[in-house]
């Protein structure tokens, strides 16, 4: 049974900042927006996503010739990054 906080986090993760719904399978540009790498982030967000993939921090799914990102994978990535950051702070 989900807690209220978990439900709120899921709900917040279901929409981009502009209010449009986040699909379950995201393009590279949508993944960049979802992770907010386009907001005061790295100079080249696409290279950052590639780095996360090559370091096995983030998994992508190939659909045809394109890479896509499962929303659940992006949420797991954020959860893992939050855990790493929390350890650094303490």
Encode pLDDT of 4-46 as tens digits: 444 444 455 688 888 888 889 999 999 999 999 998 878 999 9
CB 61 within 8 A of CB 70: yes
Q: In terms of C-beta density within 10 A (0-12 exposed, 13-18 middle, 19 or more buried), how is residue 78 classed?
A: middle
pTM above 0.85? no
């Amino acid at each position: 049974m989900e807690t209220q906080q978990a439900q709120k986090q899921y709900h917040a993760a279901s929409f981009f900042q502009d209010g449009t719904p986040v699909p379950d399978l995201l393009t590279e540009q949508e993944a960049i927006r979802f992770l907010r790498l386009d907001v005061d982030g790295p100079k080249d967000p696409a290279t950052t996503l590639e780095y996360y993939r090559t370091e096995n921090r983030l998994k992508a799914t190939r659909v045809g010739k394109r890479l896509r990102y499962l929303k659940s994978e992006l949420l797991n990535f954020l959860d893992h990054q939050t855990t790493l950051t929390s350890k650094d702070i303490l």
